[in-house]
């Protein structure tokens, strides 16, 4: 599943490809995409300038010249591909945008679960979400305040979008290993020093994450990328102890029993 670093990278590529372009047409090519992005919405974006492209958590927002907003969720396997309008479209193209400048933006998606939605001018209301982890808004004091009354284990709390926006299951495990914090530690018992370590660790794992197409990384095995995620039974890179797995809130968590306390 594309996580925050992949979605950030996708938004950057989209900006480089079509920011300032004018949409000539849009088409949802798959029935499940048509449900969210029907012909009427497809027609409504034609003629609009792509004024701004932003990422919020794992959502990409394309702000159009008339104030309308295209909201894009890649879900499991979505990604952008860019081609010239004159060239043949890519495989697995589910939604197509073409600009007057001759660029085709294809939302490619093997599983076709991606969602594109058009919000009429003024109608887009952002979901409430915590601070973006890679900005100054994600502070130790803010984290401390958010966790003050949370008695539950820290790992599911890190996944809570109200606490910090866009940290997924893999990065939560990786960050807790980096910060040497046991995933079952009650969130409200973490000292200021440990929260500072956790904040820095979340940033570190997101900043050093491999970007690019998540599902196209055939050449790099996941076991080489991650420190703990998916590595139950492997030796911890820090202490050599075995990586363990537990289930929290229905999700797998990987951690080192010895060096995460
Ligand atoms: Zn260890």
pLDDT in tens, 190-238: 999 999 999 999 999 998 877 644 434 455 566 677 899 999 999 999 9
What is the structure's pLDDT at 60? Answer: 97
Q: d(Cα 28, Cα 39) in Å, to the nearest integer?
A: 8
Q: d(Cα 57, Cα 53) in Å, to the nearest integer?
A: 13
SS (H, E, C) 73-125: ECCCCEEEEEEECCCCCCCCEEEEEEECCCEEEEEEECCCCCEEEEECCCCCC
What is the structure's pLDDT at 213? Answer: 47
φ/ψ bin of 149: left (φ > 0), alpha (ψ from -120 to 50), beta (otherwise): alpha
Rounded mean pLDDT, 7-16: 95
Q: In what order do the strands lie in the sheet with 59-64?
A: 50-56, 59-64, 69-73, 115-119
CA of 205 to the centre of ligand 1 (A): 17
CA of 73 to the centre of ligand 1 (A): 35
Q: How far is CA 82 from CA 69, 85, 206, 237, in A?
A: 20, 9, 25, 39
What is the structure's pLDDT at 128? Answer: 77
CA of 120 to the centre of ligand 1 (A): 51
CA of 177 to the centre of ligand 1 (A): 8
Q: What is the pTM of this model?
A: 0.79
Q: Is 35 helix (H, G, I), strand (E, B) or coil?
A: helix
**Residues with beta carbon < 5 A to ion ligand 1?**
236, 238-239, 241, 256, 258-259
What is the structure's pLDDT at 207? Answer: 87
Instruction: Assign 149 a pLDDT band (cuts: 50, 70, 90).
Output: confident
Rounded mean pLDDT, 34-43: 96
Give, rounded to a whole angstrom, the gap between the first and last alpha carbons of the chain.
29
Rounded mean pLDDT, 148-177: 93
What is the structure's pLDDT at 209? Answer: 79
For tokens 């034609």, the residue is: 46
Rounded mean pLDDT, 2-18: 92
Q: d(Cα 235, Cα 242) in Å, to the nearest integer?
A: 5
pLDDT in tens, 68-123: 999 999 998 999 999 999 999 999 999 999 999 999 999 999 999 999 999 999 89
CB atoms within 10 A of CB 217: 13
Domains, the chain, in order of start with CATH, read 4-119 (3.20.190.10), 140-256 (1.10.8.50)
CA of 32 to the centre of ligand 1 (A): 44
What is the structure's pLDDT at 216? Answer: 45
Q: Which of 160, 188, 158, 163 is nearest to 173 (CA)?
A: 158
What is the structure's pLDDT at 193? Answer: 97
Mean pLDDT of the chain: 92
pLDDT in tens, 48-67: 999 999 999 899 999 999 99
Q: d(Cα 51, Cα 134) in Å, to the nearest integer?
A: 23
CA dihedral 164, 7, 182, 148 (to 10 degrees): 0
Q: d(Cα 240, Cα 3) in Å, to the nearest integer?
A: 28
What is the structure's pLDDT at 234? Answer: 95
Give the active site residues: 2-3, 58, 251
Residues 6+ apart with CB under 8 A from 180: 197, 259, 260, 261
pLDDT > 70 fraction of the chain, expressed in percent and rounded? 95
């Amino acid at each position: 599943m594309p996580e925050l670093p992949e979605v950030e990278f996708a938004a950057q590529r989209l900006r480089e490809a079509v920011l300032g372009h004018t949409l000539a047409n849009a088409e949802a090519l798959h029935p499940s995409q048509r449900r969210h992005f029907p012909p009427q919405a497809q027609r409504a974006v034609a003629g609009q300038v792509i004024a701004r492209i932003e990422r919020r958590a794992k959502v990409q927002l394309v702000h159009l010249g008339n104030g309308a907003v295209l909201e894009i969720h890649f879900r499991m396997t979505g990604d952008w591909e860019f081609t010239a309008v004159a060239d043949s479209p890519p495989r697995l193209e589910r939604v197509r945008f073409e600009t007057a400048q001759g660029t085709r933006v294809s939302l490619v998606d093997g599983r076709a679960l991606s969602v594109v939605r058009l919000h009429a001018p003024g109608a887009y209301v952002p979901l409430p979400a915590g601070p973006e982890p890679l900005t100054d808004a994600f502070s130790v004091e803010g984290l401390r305040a958010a966790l003050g009354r949370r008695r539950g284990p820290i790992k599911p709390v890190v996944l809570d979008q109200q606490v910090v926006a866009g940290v997924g299951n893999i990065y939560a495990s990786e960050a807790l290993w980096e910060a040497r914090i046991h995933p079952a530690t009650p969130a409200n018992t973490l000292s200021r020093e440990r929260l500072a370590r956790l904040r820095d660790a979340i940033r570190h794992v997101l900043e050093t994450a491999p970007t690019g197409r998540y599902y196209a990384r055939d050449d790099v095995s996941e076991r080489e990328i991650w420190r703990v995620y998916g590595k139950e039974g492997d030796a911890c890179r820090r202490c050599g102890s075995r990586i363990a797995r537990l289930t929290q809130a229905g999700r797998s968590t990987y951690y080192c029993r010895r060096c995460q306390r």
